[in-house]
Structure 1
Amino acid sequence: MNATTSQPALPDRLSVNPRSQYYAAEYFEHDIGIKINGKERFDVEEYCISEGWVKVASRKALDRRGQPLMMTVKGEVEAFYK
């Protein structure tokens, strides 16, 4: 059985936060990997392939709602299924 036939094509922009307009639960039924500048990152909260950035949570800083502040890392972004 080929697992790639049941996986939807990954969108240009996707977020893991359910409060975001770019969140889509059907993509998270499968394991997704993100590479930025050829190196795989495991702490990505949101990505955009066409604009070339990923957002990762800062370690300690929180916003006024108690959510971690996001830092933007720019470069060549590649999203793939594991």
Structure 2
Amino acid sequence: MSHLKRLLDGLPLGLLLLASLTLGLAPFTPEPHVWEKLQMLAAGTLSRPIDIFDLALHGAPWVLLILKLVLRPRSGG
């Protein structure tokens, strides 16, 4: 877990947010790929390698952003 924490600490929050809003939501029309692939996953139709790759590619920025937010140090006590 410490390797992941070090990786996430090295990634600026703004960069992860920008990547999530651009690559994570591309293409914007007719609907974002990540949303389409999540719907396919929920329906059990995510089986083609290109669709799995699309989910990984467009979902990675979101996963990294969420992990960075969850694992960030808490202030105060």
Normalised by the size of structure 2, how large is the TM-score? 0.25
RCO (CA 8 Å, sep 6+): is it higher in 1 or 2? Answer: 2
Larger radius of gyration, structure 1 or 2?
2
Normalised by the size of structure 1, how large is the TM-score? 0.24
Greater fraction helix: 2
